[in-house]
Amino acid sequence: MMRQWQQVYWVCLVFLVCLNLLGMYDAWRSTRTKGINKPVQNIQTLSLQEETMRNEKSKSMNDVISQLTKAIVSHNSSGNLKRGTVVDSWSLYDDYNRYSSVKQLTDKNHIYEHNSPSKALGHKHTPRPPLPQVQKNETAIKIRLKNSPVKNHNTVFLVKPSHGVFLTSLVANLSTHSHQDQTYLRDRVAVYLERARHVSDVCLRHQSTLIKPTILRTLVWDRKHNPNLIWCEISKVASSTWMVNFLRLAHYRENDPSLANLNSSERYQAIYGDDKMADVSTRKEVYQLYPFPKTPSQQRKLLNSSLRFIIVRHPFTRLLSAYVDKMTVDTPKPVTFNFRQLQRDIISRYRREEDPDSPYPTFSEFIQYVLESTENFTTIKHWKKSLCWKPYWVSCHVCSMDYQLVMKLETMQEDERFLITLAGLTELKQQVHEWRNNKSSQNSTNKSTYFRQLSTKQMYQLYDLYRLDFELFDYNLDQYLPLAHDVQLSK
């Protein structure tokens, strides 16, 4: 028995000596050929991987195993590697190529342990944590879809661009309107026909990408007025306002006996509240009052007889509104989306030590997050999980629904008057305007304060991200580029 163990011992010893000799030979060969076959200095090329592998193999066995162990610990503590990198399962007996390639990816992409928000981030030698994601977003999306109007997920729409034909036919037949209303509508309709034609033209230019059958779950179907109305809800663009409007049109809780002893102001607060209607139960109430047509024939009939309208605003001011609403308060709504955790993660990734110690992300930090988290988004599927800064062409499938009336927040007073007059929405003619969300005007007044935090490069990157929205609704960068901080410094 002792003799057998001695034989095993000597075999193992000879094996280890051979490995060391092989490593020394590789090191000598690498040194000799270094000046002849110098690899290209590009960490993505195969030559550098070979060079790294040769250098690593020249080290002792114990040294390599020690470094490989550190790499494993570093990988496990860092969480996820940067997007696009793939690492297989690890083991101590893997060959040296595994360690070499991961070491390059780690050095290149700065894969480090996730730092706390209090640590300085963003410097050249400072580690950056992984790109943050909205927590519990899958649950939040399921809740949102559960309370959406469309219950049949197989219902598909495709209404091709028509350059505002239906709107033209409506204005051509105004016999039920007063003479004053007829004059106003005919004078004003040219604005909306031009908008509809412009959208149709852009859609047709990009028809291979944008004009496709679609499933929409954010439509309110109003069959109580003539013409019928179909509205697509877009977050941060008067969506709360029009949720309240549709409740008013349905005379929601007007005969509720529990409100009988309240004055008009108190009744209004009791029914609609003073918040921004972020609660999913309120949205569900609206969708129940304006249900989705049950049969395909009803759907076709309603689509053909309805004025489909959408409300938009400049993409930059919408992003600013989303920032103020979701990034500057402790408990942004909806609570299920856990935006507070996203705030902390953005600070953790982008905050520099010389920046003010604010508990909320700066506008520049937020914009950088939006740019990085959506940099490869090109399709509707890519944008699916981005709920609050999704482009209009994605949110409402603009080119697949042929919206006849395009309303803009910048001209909201006139646009609402046109719609209310055309559709005979008498319940809204005397509506109280004080309940409206005043943040839009406030943001408009202070937008220069926020956009001075951005660089010209960031503004152009945002423009590229929302390019189709800019084209579809005829917006530009003219008023924003002069605000960029690098432009301000050059003056």
Antiparallel, parallel or unpaired: β 228-232 and 219-222: antiparallel
Of 247, 176, 174, 245, give the one whose Cα is nearest residue 437: 245
Q: Give dist(CA 288, CA 277) in Å, integer.
A: 16
Cβ-contact 253, 271 below 8 angstroms: yes
359 and 441 in a single domain? The answer is yes
Q: Give dist(CA 134, CA 136) in Å, integer.
A: 7
Residue 111's pLDDT is what?
A: 27
Res. 82: pLDDT tops 60: no
In a domain, 429, yes or no: yes
Any residues with CB less than 8 A from the CB of 457 and at least 6 apart, and which? none
Res. 283: pLDDT tops 90: no
100 and 168 in a single domain? The answer is no
In a domain, 15, yes or no: no
Residue 61's pLDDT is what?
A: 47
Lowest-confidence segment of 6-20, 40-54, 464-478 by average pLDDT: 40-54
Q: Give dist(CA 201, CA 213) in Å, integer.
A: 18
Highest average pLDDT, of 115-119, 243-247, 277-281, comes from 243-247
235 and 315 in a single domain? The answer is yes
Residue 228's pLDDT is what?
A: 94
Helix or strand (DSSP H, E) at 157: none
In a domain, 126, yes or no: no
Res. 118: pLDDT tops 50: no
pLDDT band per the 50, 70, 90 thresholds, residue 413: very high
Scored b (16 or more CB within 10 A) or e, 458-485 reads: bbebbbebbebbbbbbebebeebeebbe
pLDDT band per the 50, 70, 90 thresholds, residue 84: very low
Any residues with CB less than 8 A from the CB of 187 and at least 6 apart, and which? none
User: What single-letter amino acid sits at 479?
Assistant: Q
Res. 154: pLDDT tops 90: no
Higher-confidence position of 332 and 176: 176
51 and 155 in a single domain? The answer is no
Cβ-contact 472, 396 below 8 angstroms: no
Higher-confidence position of 63 and 465: 465
200 and 289 in a single domain? The answer is yes
347 burial level (CB within 10 Å; 0-12, 13-18, 19+)? buried
Res. 455: pLDDT tops 60: yes
In a domain, 380, yes or no: yes
Residue 134's pLDDT is what?
A: 53
Lowest-confidence segment of 1-10, 290-299, 463-472 by average pLDDT: 1-10
Res. 382: pLDDT tops 90: no
229 and 356 in a single domain? The answer is yes
Res. 47: pLDDT tops 50: no
pLDDT band per the 50, 70, 90 thresholds, residue 121: very low
Residue 415's pLDDT is what?
A: 96
pLDDT tens column, 89-117 = 233 333 333 333 333 333 333 322 222 33
Lowest-confidence segment of 256-260, 307-311, 340-344 by average pLDDT: 256-260
Any residues with CB less than 8 A from the CB of 86 and at least 6 apart, and which? none
pLDDT band per the 50, 70, 90 thresholds, residue 466: very high
Q: Give dist(CA 401, CA 419) in Å, integer.
A: 18
Res. 301: pLDDT tops 90: no
Q: What is the mean pLDDT of the chain?
A: 73
State the sign of the Cα–Cα–Cα–Cα dihedral 201, 202, 205, 207: negative
Q: What share of the chain is helix, strand, coil (3-state, %, to 5)?
A: 55, 5, 40
pLDDT tens column, 213-227 = 877 777 899 998 989
In a domain, 468, yes or no: yes
104 and 56 in a single domain? The answer is yes
Residue 120's pLDDT is what?
A: 32
Specify the DSSP class assigned to residue 259: G
367 and 471 in a single domain? The answer is yes
pTM of the model: 0.67
Cβ-contact 102, 71 below 8 angstroms: yes
How many contiguous H segments (helices) and E segments (strands) does the chain have? Answer: 24, 4
Domain that holds residue 52: 40-82+91-113
In a domain, 22, yes or no: no
Higher-confidence position of 144 and 238: 238
Residue 203's pLDDT is what?
A: 95
Residue 44's pLDDT is what?
A: 37
Cβ-contact 399, 246 below 8 angstroms: no
List beta partners, residue 67.
none
Residue 212's pLDDT is what?
A: 80
Q: 445 is written with which tokens?
A: 């007044």
Angle between helical axes of 264-272 and 239-249 (0-180°, round to 10): 120
Res. 422: pLDDT tops 50: yes
Query: Would you tell me how many other CB atoms lie within 10 Å of the CB of residue 356?
Result: 6
Cβ-contact 390, 383 below 8 angstroms: yes
pLDDT band per the 50, 70, 90 thresholds, residue 48: very low
In a domain, 95, yes or no: yes
Residue 284's pLDDT is what?
A: 80
In the chain, how many domains are there? 2
162 and 108 in a single domain? The answer is no
Q: 46 is written with which tokens?
A: 């195969």
Cβ-contact 60, 20 below 8 angstroms: yes
Share of residues in the chain with pLDDT > 70 (%): 63
Tell me the CB-side half-sphere exposure of residue 82, using CA atoms within 13 A.
14
Q: Give dist(CA 140, CA 135) in Å, integer.
A: 9
Lowest-confidence segment of 269-273, 291-295, 328-332, 388-392 by average pLDDT: 269-273
Lowest-confidence segment of 7-16, 121-130, 257-266, 426-435 by average pLDDT: 121-130
Res. 418: pLDDT tops 90: yes
Lowest-confidence segment of 56-65, 79-88, 417-426 by average pLDDT: 79-88
452 and 356 in a single domain? The answer is yes
End-to-end CA distance of the chain: 89
Would you list the DSSP string of 440-474?
Answer: HHHHHHHHHHHHTTS-HHHHHHHHHHTHHHHHHTT
Residue 153's pLDDT is what?
A: 44
Res. 461: pLDDT tops 90: yes
291 and 168 in a single domain? The answer is yes
Higher-confidence position of 237 and 75: 237
Q: How far is CA 28 from CA 25, 58, 97, 189, 196, in A?
A: 5, 9, 19, 84, 74
143 and 275 in a single domain? The answer is yes
Res. 276: pLDDT tops 70: no
Res. 23: pLDDT tops 80: no
In a domain, 10, yes or no: no
Specify the DSSP class assigned to residue 129: P
Residue 354's pLDDT is what?
A: 63
